[in-house]
A = this chain, B = another copy of it.
Amino acid sequence: MVAKLLDGKKVAKEIRDALKKRVEELHKKGIRPKLVVILVGEDGASKVYVRNKHRAAEKIGIETADVKLPQDITEKELLSIVKKYNEDDSVHGILVQLPLPAQINEEKVTCAIAPEKDVDGFHPINIGHLFMNAPRSLPCTPHGIMKFFEKYDLPLAGQNVVIVGRSNIVGRPLAALMLNHDATVTVTHSKTKNLAQFTRQADILIAAVGRADFIKREDVKPGAVVIDVGMNRNADGKLVGDVAQQGVSEVASYITPVPGGVGPMTIAMLMEQTVEFAERGVQIANRKVSHG
């Protein structure tokens, strides 16, 4: 077997094209979807990611505002900037790029973003709604992974999903989403004994550990769908995932490449969430008008 590719670039482009039309509809109503990206300090990886976000937004017609803040900004100053955008009706989505410098409590900042503008879906109230199967904002990477299953028409109900990694931004919310879609879900992590015993039973295997080539051919059940969330530099400086792609491709039925798999989907989902928030704003405004 040679695995088919789950093509993140292609699917992300389809999503962007559909979003472009939704943005045009909003423009007709005088709404200009706007995403504010707050970046503290000079972290190189964050800067690249922020630049990619801007490029994607531009293609779709989403307005973006970059707020670059000094590395030594106080927590209080950052919170007051977040508050300003919470209260600004022209802003539909707010994103504070993590990680933040040590003097700032990340949880406090995450909780300060208005839940209805929380495009990253990291506010605890949005995480809570997600886990109670009534999501209002979805973390972008797990949401992007779910889109692959939708776009390639791959079944989830009753499938044995094994997630390797239990982070707050990937493993945990993805577990909730998969459960909401009727999959049987196992979350494994660094403390799991006999990891391969779990991965080898997976119909759908998701690797989100941040270690190059961590999942090998012998860890994968023949015919499994393999999602590689990793973005690691190997010894040669090459960008590689958490999955030994060459070997695993020989046994899996579908696999996401790295790069060009989960990465582009994450950014597309950020755009979709921003557009959705802008549309919800219109709905709420309409409701207010119709109620007098």
Return chain B residues, CB-CB under 8 Å to A184: 186-189, 191-193, 198
Chain A interface main SS type: mixed
Q: Is A128 part of the contact surface with B, judged by Cβ < 8 Å? A: yes
Residues from chain B with a CB closer than 8 A to the CB of A173 are 131
Query: Closest residue to A123 on the B side, CB-wise?
Result: B128
For A182, what are the chain B residues with a Cβ–Cβ distance below 8 Å? 189, 191
**Contact flags A122-142 to B (C-beta < 8 A → 1, else 0):** 011111110111100000000
Is A179 positioned at the interface, with any CB of B under 8 Å from its CB?
A: yes
A residues 92-148 with Cβ under 8 Å of B?
107, 123-129, 131-134
A204 to nearest B CB, angstroms?
Answer: 13
Residues of B within 8 A of A128 (CB): 123-129, 131
Q: CB within 8 Å of B: which residues of A?
A: 107, 123-129, 131-134, 157-158, 160, 166, 168, 172-173, 175-176, 179, 182-189, 191-193, 198
A252 to chain B, nearest CB (A): 20
CB distance from A96 to the nearest CB of B (A): 16
- Give the distance to chain B from A93, nearest Cβ to Cβ, in Å: 19
Count this chain's copies in the assembly: 2
List, in ascending order, chain B residues with CB within 8 A of A125's CB: 124-125, 128
Q: Which of B124, B157, B189, B191 contacts A132 (CB 8 A)?
A: B124
* Contact (A133, B191) CB under 8 Å given A125-B125, A184-B186: no
- Measured in the bound complex, the distance between the Cα atoms of B134 and A168 in whole Å is 11
Give the residues in chain B near A129, CB-CB below 8 Å. Answer: 124, 128
A179/B168 contact (C-beta < 8 A), A107-B134, A128-B125, A132-B127 known = no
In the bound complex, what is the Cα–Cα distance between A134 and B127 (angstroms)? Answer: 12
Bound CA span A13–B70, Å: 55
**Residue from B107, B157, B179 in contact with A187 in the complex, judged by beta carbons closer than 8 Å:** B179
Interface centre among A134, A187, A193 (most CB of B within 10 A): A187
Contact flag A158-B127 (CB < 8 Å), given A107-B134, A184-B186, A186-B186: no
The answer to whether A158 and B191 touch (CB under 8 A), given A134-B107, A166-B179, A184-B186, is yes
Q: A166-B179, A175-B175, A186-B186 are in contact. List 11 more A-B contacts (CB 8 A).
A: A124-B124, A124-B128, A125-B125, A127-B128, A127-B132, A157-B191, A158-B193, A175-B187, A182-B191, A184-B193, A186-B187
